[in-house]
Amino acid sequence: MRPMTRMFVIAAALASSSAAFALSKVTVNVPFNFESHGKTYQAGSYDVSLDPNESILVMTNHNNPKVSAHWIVSPTEFGTDAPALSMKFDDATDGSHELHSIRLATRTTQVLDKRERHSVQREVSISGGR
């Protein structure tokens, strides 16, 4: 009976860890307007998801699906204490915010902004998905 119990414990651990990797959509509230590649996005709720192949990350305005952006993503480390979604923004001296990178579970974008005008990096993270 002991090997059976051990098998259930291992199966439960694998199931819980694979749930994080299977995460494919999270909704986040961004409390400020921001820019990416010269396009301005309004503050509000955004759905961040992966395509079925987990190679493209899509960010869509939750209330206006016509407002969206797509980026190629690559694998990244994902610890058990890491939030499901992490969005990093650079604050410019003029008060604007530029999207720096997005990580959804085990996938991340490259650095999205390359300008030197930023003074501080701000990170917006959530730990769960809807």
Could you tell me the residue ranges of all domains in the chain? Answer: 23-126
DSSP states of 70-95 as a string? EEE-EE----TTS-SEEEEEEEETTS
Its pTM surpasses 0.85: no
Return the pLDDT at 90: 86
Maximum Cα–Cα distance across the chain: 66
Q: What is the pLDDT of residues 54-84, one digit of tens each?
A: 999 999 999 999 999 999 999 998 888 888 9
pLDDT for 27 equals 93
